[in-house]
Chain A
Amino acid sequence: MNFGIIKRTVGWILLFEAAFFLVPLIAAAIYWEAEFFAFLICMGICAALGGLCLIGKPKSDKIYAKEGFVITALCWIVLSAFGALPFVLAGTIPNYIDALFETVSGFTTTGATVIDPEVGVESLPKCILMWRSFTHWVGGMGVLVFIMAFLPLSGARNMHIMKAESPGPTVGKLVPRVRKTAAILYGIYGVLTLVQIIMLLCGGMSLFDAINTAFATAGTGGFSVKNDGLIGYNSYIQIVVTVFMLIFSINFNSYYLLIRRKWKEVLTEEVKWFLIIVASAILAVTLNVFFTETVNAVGDKMSFGEALKHAAFSVASVVSTTGFATEDFNTWPVFSHIILVGMMFIGACAGSTGGGIKVSRLLLLGKSTSNEIGKMLHPKRVKRITMDGRAVDDEVVRSVYGYMIAYVIIFVASLAIISLDLGNLTHGDSGAFATGFTAVAATFNNIGPGFGAVGPTGSFTDFSWWSKLVFIFDMLAGRLEIFPMLILFAPMTWKKCA
């Protein structure tokens, strides 16, 4: 294990985090808030520790797969651990574990909050709100990818870090250099975010709200600056957010191909299936909500148009793993619940900012299952799994199996642990299972709200500290696609020559 390079990368992460604090600092300066000093202190701590880590040159700058995983997992933990400090120092969230939960939820673009709904986010200082939203934006595309775009790290081996941090079963380069690839991805990301801010401003949103909402949408996070989420905004804004949630959950490679005018290659199999899944889910929920004559927040029966709007928003919000809400879908019929829970697990496309299992993985699993059936019928049949007309490496298929197994085990284990805690929650026995199940699903898939007590109008604040730690692990594992986190904690990783 190359500890030198790990220390160095952690150092850089801290320095970049110090720079990230500039964003809330600016907000604090504009709104003349006392929390300015909390951020300033944190910035100083990060810069000092980061600088300390950068002293001395590592003996070798080689990064192998092992180092790539460890660096990624460690950097995310360090980033969250220090990112939580302002919440504590500013007194917004005095308990460190709560603050950590909030920060991890931010960076992993989950959007689950521990802010008590009774208190509401509107009472928080603006700079704190800005920091929450900004963690979404940075976490969405990946912090290490961000650093890679700016720093000349060690060339070819950086691919190991990019592979560990980017969502999806395989990662390809857009251009020969890793650094340029990272820069292109962030370029697309930045431009799309800017477009959304402008479109939100056109809808009459205030600049502060527009920037925060765009950050939260771009990272597919879901922290809101209003107590009632997006319910209070007009239909135009809700539609804009719906569209952008979907845009940010499509593989960014497609946008690059779009820029390069390779029209035929833009609509990959994954994107095609993603759109089909989203369209059919929206249709199913709309019809279900409309025909069961569900009432809206005001108490009127929803018109078809209204049902379509809310269904589209909720499906987009869940499938992109953002977690915004325009309606409390808790009150919707059970069939819609099931569809939405299904969407939670499917998640976005690989190479996007969204979470979940990812459409491409499910596609591979589906194809592999159909292959198995074919093999049972014709035992001697030879068939390879293909994607976009190319044979998929057996290694990739195997890694998808591994991922699914780890996914299920972690899911069940987390559910078992937090179920001990469910008695403390207010919703009583009837909603306990739904609450627990969706709470794990919502954190592990980086969505945010679930059903029951953790629904769009609820919060995670009533869980005990150890449940929160489980959720923190789940969020990180979900964002980093499980293995970096498992590898960090596997004793095998740290043995010499093992």
Chain B
Amino acid sequence: MNVIIVGCGRVGQTLAEKLNSDGNEVTVIDMSTDKVNETMELADVMGVVGNGATHTTLREAGIKSADLFIAVTNSDELNLLCCMIAKKEGDCKTIARLKSPEYSDEMEYIRTELGLAMVINPEYATAEEIARVLRFPSAIKIEPFAKGKVEIIKFKIPENSVLIGMSVKDLMIKHPSEVLVCTIERGDEAYIAKGDSVFQEKDVVSIVASPKNANDFFRKIRRKDPSVHSAMIIGGGAITHYLCEILEKSSISLKIIDRDESVCMELAEAFPKCSVICGKPTDKELLAEEGVASADAFLTLTNSDEENILLSLFAKEVNDGKLVTKIKRTDYDSVIKRLELDTVICPKNITADTIVRYVRSTKNTKGSNIETMYNIIEDKVEASEFIIKENSEIIGTPLSQLRFKPDVLVACITRADKVIIPRGNDVIMAGDAVVVVTKMLGLHDIVDVLR
């Protein structure tokens, strides 16, 4: 697939890298020569320096033969303009990033009226992900599949957990429930869970289950799961704005701290129920006064990675509640992982994943279509949801008789409204939505997992 990306910022670069390694021919456009060169160092892509809203630049980048056009510059209006001109110049699908809250209510209107294939709002997507985690604080990360009927939930095994020393098989015998253990992450290693895999302390485990069954499961393994009633949010940016919108109707009481008075005024006006504090978030006294130690959840969403990490580390010391840290840069991932910061959220990855997912799903394959795709463990393990077509080779054979490649797990089958956690004698049928967890990245068809 030929893809053109306008804007080589953080999201643009991540996208270029991911789409390129996914086997697409990528061309990037940016006004800054340095940015373009930087992107060409990162990924095997072609660079064009110029304004992505001019048709001369677009033609130079090969808009005529492009299949997909993505505008992710810093300006919403420029993104829309780029997409409109690209649409006029070439016959391609267009995706625009719109981040301003002003457009958030108009997204659907803009999408249909301007003929865009997709409008993405990284900040809104991030807020949604945070909200999911707040509803279920034991999890580090929750990703919905099959239109929300199934979730992949990632959690860390705490000290003194009953799971420690238990194998996956034992777990199923002692605490039978409709869940499936998918992956186990230990340090830098990632494993696809097998029956004899044994849990250890500090392992990060991911399971597939329906939301209700997941609740049961966590009750069974006696994991204390205090629901979040109060949350303290540091930083009043767009994510905070959206998060307030999403959580407004819930029972969670929110406290927002930001140093900018005008930001505080806006938030206070838009969300009268939230308490908005104007002050320096790095002021330890202020945090103590506002009750950092007693909040059920502590969210750091400022614009500075360093500040977010530092504050989260401080909160971890004084409070054992839920922690959510937003970071922009992923270069020092390994260091951040070692800090054990609970949930770490990276908007650029969320955006890039959404688009990569879209690109994969538009590539039509013979026997099945990718519906959603999700990185369980970044660059190591992926979960993909396939919709099985009538002519797929996989139909009709019991799972135990199919010859799978190593490190493949059929995690879940959704048939009509029923969620099936598959066992050996289950059979895949046409029209099923099947979630496959695998170490093979970039699957396009479900038969790729067969030998």
Residues of A at under 8 Å CB distance from B? 155-159, 173, 175-180, 393
Contacts and interface: CB of A to CB of B under 8 A. Distances in A.
A177 B25 contact: yes
A157 B45 CA distance: 11
A179 B45 CA distance: 11
A173 B41 contact: no
Interface string B33-47: 100000011111110
B27 interface: yes
Nearest to B2: A176
A105 to B, nearest CB: 34
Q: Is the interface of A mostly helix, strand, loop or mixed?
A: helix
Interface residues of B, number: 13
Contacts of B27: 176
A409 B42 CA distance: 36
B3 to A, nearest CB: 9
A176 B41 contact: no
B26 interface: yes
Contacts of A180: 25
A175 B61 CA distance: 10
A389 to B, nearest CB: 11
Leading 6 A-B pairs by shortest Cβ distance: A176-B46, A155-B44, A156-B44, A176-B25, A173-B46, A156-B43
Contact of B41 (A157, A179, A393): A157
Interface of B: 20-21, 25-27, 33, 40-46
B25 A159 contact: no
Contacts, number: 32
Contacts of A178: 44
Contacts of A173: 46
A155 B27 CA distance: 15
Nearest to A180: B25
Given A155-B43, A156-B40, 5 more contacts: A156-B41, A159-B40, A159-B41, A176-B45, A177-B25
A177 B41 CA distance: 12
Contacts of A158: 44
Contacts of B26: 176
B47 to A, nearest CB: 8
Nearest to B42: A156
Contacts of A156: 20, 40-45
A151 to B, nearest CB: 14
A156 B20 CA distance: 10
Contact of A175 (B20, B40, B46): B46
Nearest to A160: B41
A185 to B, nearest CB: 15
A176 B44 contact: yes
A180 B20 CA distance: 13
Contacts of A177: 25, 44
Nearest to A155: B44
10 contacts: A155-B20, A155-B21, A156-B43, A157-B41, A159-B41, A159-B44, A173-B46, A176-B25, A176-B46, A393-B33
Contacts of A176: 20, 25-27, 44-46
A490 B33 CA distance: 30
Nearest to A158: B44
Contacts of A159: 40-41, 44
A117 to B, nearest CB: 49
A178 B46 CA distance: 9
A158 B40 CA distance: 11
Contacts of A393: 33
Contacts of A175: 25, 46
Contacts of B46: 173, 175-176
Contacts of B43: 155-156
Contacts of A155: 20-21, 43-44
A157 B46 CA distance: 13
Contacts of B20: 155-156, 176
B69 to A, nearest CB: 15
A62 to B, nearest CB: 11
Contacts of B41: 156-157, 159
A159 B42 CA distance: 11
